[in-house]
Chains A and B, each alone.
Chain A
Amino acid sequence: MNVAAEAIAEQPAHPAGSETVVQAHGLTKRYKNAVALDGTDFRIGQGRIVGLIGPNGAGKTTALKAILGLTDFEGELAVLGMDPRRQRPQLMREVCFIADVATLPRWIRVQEAIDFVAGVHPRFDRAKCERFLARTKLRANQKVREMSKGMIVQLHLAIVMAIDARLLVLDEPTLGLDILYRKQFYQSLLEDYFDENKTILITTHQVEEVEHILTDLLFIRDGKIALSATMDEMGARFAEVLVGAGQVAAARALNPIDERAAVFGKSIFLYDSADPEQLAQLGEVKRPSVSDLFVAIMKGTYA
């Protein structure tokens, strides 16, 4: 781990949010020859849209699986006050998840999927689901195997959005979708689903795509939380400055956490908790993008 990331990790993990939806303490998961989660602590509050972001193998999927009760683990983890290991069926009444686009069974028909979920899920609103489906081209007797990836995700989303759950977990939900469906996916979630009583936890590689809807960031690296911040805190803490060639030495003196080349011989410096007035003297200051911040903090992960 590089110095910058270590410094960031020392910050207390407390994203805002009134009620706690997920609370992890010392969450650890060991596989035969690897540690996926290494005593991880984090908290997710109600009414937040949290991006769980990390490189491959950092423990993202393991963390989600622990939250969903799909894997055993050591340490403490409470989801909506329940232990996902022992209370999974009760927990799944209030938690939904979309693992990726291709997990609906291929043999099922639209009508059967709706009938089944209506039959087993006490919080499913059939009329709502049918309203969502009416906007699509899906037919009631259509089988999943006859659908495109985009249509499958429309069906899955219509089912999930009709469930009055408190936590929605999305694991790479738009993987392999074309751009129109990807935009529509997040648009629907924001317009027709999300409210202050719900919480959404998203992992994705396409950080740019979710950046504008996230309220909180959780960066995970080597099984540990490398950064936990709200987007507002992130904006207040981190700053990006476009520095001309003449001031590079001065910029380096302010301990940037990252430096990269820009056009016309200029450089972009990324700072953590630097003095805004000092930065303003160096050049144009702006809020860094989540992906640039991610790259800076994860630097060295693949080295």
Chain B
Amino acid sequence: MNAITKSPFAWLLKREYWEERRGFLRAQVIAAGVIIVLSILGVIVAEVARSRWSGSIQIGASGSLTDALQNALNHNVDGLVRALDATMAMFGMLAAVVLFFVVFFYLLGALYDDRRDRSILFWKSLPVSDTATVLSKAVSAVIVAPLIAVVVVLAAYLAQQIVMSIWFAAHGLNPFLLLWAHASPFSTWLHMLAMIPVNAVWALPTVGWLLLWSAVARSKPFLWAVAVPIIAGVLNFWIQLLGMPHVDLRFMWGDLVGRSLLSILPGSWMAVYADAPDINRLMNMDDANQHIGTYGMMYHTFLTPQMWIGAIVGIALIAAAIWFRRWRDET
């Protein structure tokens, strides 16, 4: 471990984290924090409403909440577990959306910002190859940032549970029995962790596309990266309207435009299963197991051509970004 954390590549990853902690960490903490604050506000509203109805503030007395939860515990444990899973999944989905925007703009700036402010000349004065530099940015986007997001999701879930525990305890309910005795939310969390490699390989075409424009554009990499595929898609649609030979619309929008811009959205590989006839078997859904796709489905993605063709294209685009990083001559 020591040898790994002391390798130059680990320092490149640290460097990316230092520069981007605002997006990688702080944005996730703020998003999760907003949800937790909202749930605290919700608890306060519930308490105030309850005290109005009963005419006096009676924290700890048995009210409708206690009855409802006691009832749930006795008769419908599944429903409670599902609510806990949903809490974890909600934090996960929120983190995924934040991650998409953070990583999208991170990749667009990764090889552009230091060219614009000329600090590229400082980075290039160090004995680090351009290949290592570009790869450190790709790895930060698909491994480091998602790992941080998943850790924040767990922390947010735990914080949320602590808030609820205090509330439950104030009503004389045992939070350990109700909130902490169920392993299911944690297996949902492990599921998110296990999804990172699948997301990472699936994301490669977008990673490569954005890094390439980041390395090439003289200005406005966002405009180039977004306008080129969208204009191509619109032109193709227009040609189709004229009845001339065109690229299949679904292939154009889904496999070209979509994959070049949206593949970094965690879980977007599920598009592969959009019209699979055996989707239910693959998902293996049952009531207690509401994961966003099972492990079997997740890793089955590695057997699909969409995954591998996308990965090859993505790697080629990253290689092109490395070439431009090495030879772009403008300063």
Query: A and B: partners?
Result: yes
A residues with a Cβ closer than 8 A to B are: 65, 68, 70-72, 88-93, 96-100, 102-109, 112, 115-117, 119-122, 156
Point out which of A89, A98, A156 has the most chain B C-beta atoms below 10 A from its C-beta.
A89
Residues in A with CB closer than 8 Å to B114 are 105
A108 touching B329 by the CB < 8 A rule? no
Q: How many residues of B contact A (CB 8 A)?
A: 26
Which of A89, A98, A102, A109 contacts B129 (CB under 8 A)?
A89
A99-B121, A108-B18 given; name 17 further pairs at CB < 8 Å: A65-B329, A70-B124, A70-B329, A89-B128, A90-B127, A92-B125, A92-B128, A96-B125, A99-B122, A99-B331, A103-B122, A104-B119, A106-B119, A116-B11, A119-B6, A120-B11, A120-B127
Known: A70-B329, A107-B19, A112-B18. A120 touches B119 (CB 8 A): no
Residues in B with CB closer than 8 Å to A98 are 125
Residues in B with CB closer than 8 Å to A100 are 118
Known: A103-B121, A105-B114, A105-B117. A117 touches B126 (CB 8 A): yes
Would you give the shortest CB distance from B177 to chain A, in whole angstroms? 47
Would you give the shortest CB distance from A296 to chain B, in whole angstroms? 31
CA gap between A106 and B14 in the complex, in Å: 16
CA gap between A70 and B326 in the complex, in Å: 8
25 CB contacts below 8 A, A to B, read A65-B329, A68-B125, A70-B331, A89-B127, A92-B126, A93-B127, A96-B125, A97-B125, A98-B125, A99-B121, A102-B118, A103-B122, A104-B119, A105-B123, A106-B117, A106-B119, A107-B19, A108-B19, A109-B18, A112-B15, A115-B14, A119-B10, A120-B126, A121-B126, A122-B127
Q: Which residue of B lies closest to A124 (CB)?
A: B126
Q: Which residue of B lies closest to A72 (CB)?
A: B327
Which residues of chain B from 1 to 58 have a CB within 8 Å of any chain A CB?
6, 8, 10-12, 14-15, 18-19
Residues in A with CB closer than 8 Å to B11 are 115-116, 119-120
Which of A68, A97, A115, A121 contacts B127 (CB under 8 A)?
A121
